[in-house]
A and B are shown apart, each in its own frame.
Chain A
Amino acid sequence: MGYTAKFRVWRGTDEDGALNDYDVDVNEGEVVLDVIHRLQATQAPDLAVRWNCKAGKCGSCSAEINGRPRLLCMTRMNTFDQSETVTVTPLRAFPVIRDLVTNVSFNYQKAREVPSFTPPPDLKAGDYRMQQIDVERSQEFRKCIECFLCQDTCHVIRDHEENKPVFAGPRFFIRIAELDMHPLDTLERKHSAQEDYGLGYCNITKCCTEVCPEGIHITDNAIIPMKERVVDAKYDPAFGLFRVLRARSKSTKTMNEQADRAWSLLCSVEAGDVDYASVRSDVEDAMRQAKGVASTGTVLASLEALDHFEAGRLDEAAAEAQASLSWHRSAQERSDAWVTLARVYDAQERPTATVEAIENARRHWPDNPRLRHFGGDERRP
């Protein structure tokens, strides 16, 4: 059943404009965009309105209907009382071009500022098989049709133009969340979400979620999870402690691995299997990595002592071995330090000190394989 509706449409440019009243015919089943088109066809041929698909999928016909950000093509006329005046204005958060058309370039500028998906550089096509449960969260955000209604209703920029340079807006928070939740994305996006894109400006009043025509749970599934990830990274005491312990554990593992590697090479030199010159760069590399994560300068003293000895720096070798004896409580490490000292004393032709050092080494660890240099049946490393 058709009727004549009262419409009030904003007409004007960025310099001036006003709400104009129209009486327009409405037919059953029509949406607001149909009525706007009829208005164009019958009364206001120069009325500017942006539209395209008329199916709620292109995001072109965003406007404000009775003060609420809506898609013109998805707002049915039967949701209004027939006596009601329907007010249609352009989006009020962006500069107007003419009538119902606004300049939404702000959003494209923000889109360019978000770094794109960044998979691991060495990942080849087909190397990774994506599981459905890994992409479900991101798929919700991919429904976005970029109508920018969420950007329009967000009071952070709607009511405060001065915030536009520092605030990306809800549409781009779901983009950042989509990428940060992607299993293969490698960029660090938590700190930048807060520091570069203004996540902290959002006070989660959920207007973006209320106006989203795709029903994306912008606040609950994107913005709050990103805020929580920022808390993970910066503010959570338990997670911070866990991260420190894990980093320390990882550092210890790295140090042990690299120290073992250097020690093994030096033992090969000591056993006469290889020349020191041929493994020198590998030893230095391993020791540099081990020392890079060592908690103090003394934990690698045994290793340093042997390295100094093999390099011919006898005084330094003796000093490091003594330091090792001072710091290390493990019988095997003390034995190794005594073996290195014995070799230093032997090279310095100090037989009494050498014998004493060998006896100490044997006392701490009778089966120390390095003692084979001084006779006996010790096994090689």
Chain B
Amino acid sequence: MTQTDHSGPLAAGTGAPGRAHITLRTLRTDRWWVQPAITAGVLFSFVIYATWRAFENAYYYATPYLSPFYSPCVAENCAPGSDDLGRLVGDWYPLSPALLILVFPLGFRMTCYYYRKAYYRSFWLSPPACAVAEPHRTYTGETRAPLILQNSHRWFFYAGLVFNVILTWDALLGFRNSDGDWGHMGLGTVVLLTNATLLWLYSLSCHSCRNTFGGRLKHFSKHPIRYRTWTFVSRLNTRHPLFAWLSLFGVALTDFYIRLLATGTISDPTFF
């Protein structure tokens, strides 16, 4: 049997000493670049839209609907009627209220296991696709700063649950009319409810949620309720990528709908 000598200096990549001498980066014949390209395009578009909307600091409240990019609105300069939790930040803060809170949902998605796969492949090309050589000379993964901070996903998961409660409350507030009377409903209410539902599905299907409810257990048989909960979350977890995309689109479309209302481009169809 041939023994490979590893005593010499090692080259990075599949060209390392002893491996089959193939100079091509990949021998894949399918269009492996399509998926990372689409992912990069969609995520980049969302980042551009979200950044623009966060800095726009206008058209985020159309009574009684509040954009999820600005909820909860806690700055002194919030639009009248949009500050249900109170103006917790003093008038020293001059910037957009969205900038105060977006770090939490942004952090939740940035550290999400699914999105990590998506942007490591599509933006960082590490790797761009399976069995396609990455362009980096060295790789340390998530073993050191800054990527070791991906372990903070649990923190953002907890914060995300708080935001889900707030956004659900915002959706319930949508059952008022523009005069603040309860018992009314418009298309905006449906939009906000759908957005909140998708965010709950995304959060509850999260890998951290799965671990929290039962994944960390060794003895499922000793914790039957947690086992059942874990089983339910595991079923949701298989669709986590789907919920990740749907909730991302949901947030953007909800904000866009409210912007259209706030600018007067369209009016909200009222059901009752």
Contacts and interface: CB of A to CB of B under 8 A. Distances in A.
A207 B138 contact: no
Interface string A205-232: 1110011000000001000110111111
A319 interface: no
Nearest to B221: A131
Given A97-B1, A202-B142, A67 B26 contact: yes
Nearest to A233: B216
A134 B220 contact: yes
B52 interface: no
Contacts of A161: 10-13, 16-17
B22 interface: yes
B29 A84 contact: yes
A158 B28 CA distance: 15
A239 B28 CA distance: 44
A228 B130 CA distance: 24
A162 B26 CA distance: 20
Given A10-B20, A134-B220, A155-B127, A89 B27 contact: yes
Contact of B117 (A92, A158, A204): A204
A127 interface: no
A133 B221 contact: yes
A228 B111 CA distance: 12
A365 B32 CA distance: 83
A362 interface: no
Given A17-B20, A67-B28, A159-B12, A183 B219 contact: yes
A337 B209 CA distance: 52
Contacts of B158: 238
Contacts of B127: 155, 159, 205, 207
A245 B46 CA distance: 42
Interface residues of B, number: 61
Given A133-B227, A205-B117, A87 B27 contact: yes
A93 interface: yes
Interface in B97-146: 113, 116-117, 120-121, 126-127, 130-134, 136, 138-143
B143 A201 contact: yes
Contacts of B220: 131, 133-134, 136
Interface in A144-164: 153, 155-156, 158-163
Secondary structure dominating the interface of A: mixed
Interface of A: 10, 12-14, 16-19, 64, 66-69, 84, 87, 89-90, 92-98, 102-103, 131, 133-134, 136, 153, 155-156, 158-163, 180-183, 185, 198, 200-207, 210-211, 220, 224-225, 227-232, 234-239
B21 A225 contact: no
List the 9 closest A-B pairs by CB distance, nearest first. Answer: A67-B27, A95-B18, A95-B4, A67-B28, A228-B211, A207-B130, A161-B16, A201-B141, A131-B221
B215 interface: yes
Contacts, number: 189
Contacts of B148: 200
Contacts of A14: 2, 4, 17-19
A153 B207 CA distance: 23
A93 B14 contact: yes
14 contacts: A19-B22, A92-B22, A155-B133, A155-B134, A156-B139, A158-B131, A161-B17, A180-B218, A200-B142, A201-B140, A204-B113, A205-B120, A205-B126, A235-B154
A204 B14 contact: no
A227 B260 CA distance: 43
A66 B29 contact: yes
A153 to B, nearest CB: 5
Nearest to B218: A183
Given A14-B2, A224-B207, A92 B14 contact: yes
Residue of A16, A204, A205 with most partner-chain B CB within 10 A? A205
Given A17-B21, A133-B227, A182-B218, A234 B134 contact: no
Contacts of B153: 231
B215 A225 contact: yes
A284 B142 CA distance: 49
B224 to A, nearest CB: 9
B171 to A, nearest CB: 27
